[in-house]
Amino acid sequence: MLPAEVLKQARNEILNWHDSGMSIMEMSHRGREFTSVVQKTEADLRELASIPENYKVLFLSGGATSQFSMVPMNLLRKKKNADYINTGIWSKKAIKEAQKYCHVNIAASSEDSGYTYAPTQDQWALDQNAAYVHYTSNETIGGVEFNWTPDLSYSKNNIPLVADMSSNILSRPLDVTKYGLIYAGAQKNIGPAGLTIVIVREDLLGETVQNTPSVFNYKIHADNSSMYNTPPTYAIYITGLVLEWLNKKGGLKEIEKINISKASLLYDLIDTTDFYNCSVEKSDRSRMNVPFTLKNTDLDTEFLKQAQDCGLIQLRGHRAIGGMRASIYNAMPIEGVLALVSFMKEFANNHA
């Protein structure tokens, strides 16, 4: 979901951006007009997330899925092992791709429970010779979120922490210095499909696996200010508008408060009735994606139909696990969650 204010501004500017006589979609990515857009977008992102100067911000294409390969290509640096934390379907996909380049040590996994929790760090069996440690901070399908930041400061070998933050980036304050690399597909929480953001510490750049294509080399993108090839220009523009919107909201501390309020409303309803159920451990529940099931699954179709009639859309759970899923990303107003809670109460009362 995108903020209504952002969509309205994009509508008003789509034919003629800032009296340039062009749409953003028509501009050269190397022209001064678009250069000003991408520079401001990066500056706003750096301010919002407090990104230090020794980190590069890259605007790439290929989706977060491309990063499943680019991370090992760029961060193995002649090592043969990497640690991965397996907490859901997206973690598994990242592991599968990394196994093409190195030995993957599954340092911790919640697969035995059907992915209903995030293993605490004292459960991690890390390899001190690993090139990096990778985890997915929020699993959109299973609704499991790390509501804490892993700490690798004790590591003797300065092992970098890598995070796939595709679905919860900028939903709460972020200490970038804890990470060697963060990547995120923009389409879940900060912009439209097509843009992938990478935040990477400079000292990790420049040593790729043999035969890495140039377009998969972080250093080449960093040296060319994300303009090595044509980036997803319109997606960058929209993301820039969303960052401005987040700043107007008061930044990440304020958006976190709103996100906590929204999630609490929905989980409180689910937990106070036996009509609905969420199997995720309470400490690891996602603020972004709330999966739930109905006690009587025969009512699933009717639930979705009536919800659609009330303007509550895209509530069907992912095909991999079924059930329902409410995605309540940054741009979802609290009024939307209140409407869903009201509908769920009424539906439960009518079908108890």
Instruction: Let me know whether 91 and 21 are in one domain.
Output: yes
Is the CB of residue 123 less than 8 Å from the CB of residue 112?
Answer: no
- The confidence score (pLDDT) of residue 352 equals 85
**Active site includes 164?**
yes
Percent of the chain whose pLDDT exceeds 90 = 97
- The confidence score (pLDDT) of residue 42 equals 98
Active-site hit among 44, 188, 245, 262: 188
Residue 172, pLDDT > 80, answer: yes
CA 70, 38, 51: angle at the middle one, nearest 5?
65
Residue 86 pairs in a beta bridge with 109
Instruction: Let me know whether 13 and 125 are in one domain.
Output: yes
Active-site hit among 90, 245, 262, 284: 90
**Active site includes 188?**
yes
Residue 213, pLDDT > 90, answer: yes
Instruction: Let me know whether 130 and 257 are in one domain.
Output: no
Q: How confident is the model at residue 157 (pLDDT cuts 50, 70, 90)?
A: confident
Q: What is the spatial distance between Cα 234 and Cα 240, in angstroms, rounded to a whole number?
A: 10
Q: Map tokens 């992938």 to a residue.
A: 196
Q: What is the spatial distance between Cα 57 and Cα 26, in angstroms, rounded to a whole number?
A: 24
Instruction: Let me know whether 80 and 220 are in one domain.
Output: yes
Active-site hit among 44, 83, 164, 284: 164
Instruction: Let me know whether 159 and 279 are in one domain.
Output: no
Q: Map tokens 């919640």 to a residue.
A: 110
Residue 51, pLDDT > 90, answer: yes
- CATH no. for residue 132? 3.40.640.10
- Domain count across the chain: 2
Residue 326 pairs in a beta bridge with 290
Q: What is the spatial distance between Cα 137 and Cα 169, in angstroms, rounded to a whole number?
A: 9
- CATH no. for residue 287? 3.90.1150.10
94: helix, coil or strand? Answer: helix
170: helix, coil or strand? Answer: coil
pLDDT digits (tens, 9 = 90+) for 251-286: 999 999 999 999 999 999 999 999 999 999 999 999
**Active site includes 156?**
no
pLDDT digits (tens, 9 = 90+) for 91-139: 999 999 999 999 999 999 999 999 999 999 999 999 999 999 999 999 9
Mean pLDDT of the chain: 96
Residue 156, pLDDT > 90, answer: no
- The confidence score (pLDDT) of residue 63 equals 93
Instruction: Let me know whether 124 and 169 are in one domain.
Output: yes
Q: What is the spatial distance between Cα 97 and Cα 131, in angstroms, rounded to a whole number?
A: 16
Range of the domain at 266: 252-351
60: helix, coil or strand? Answer: strand
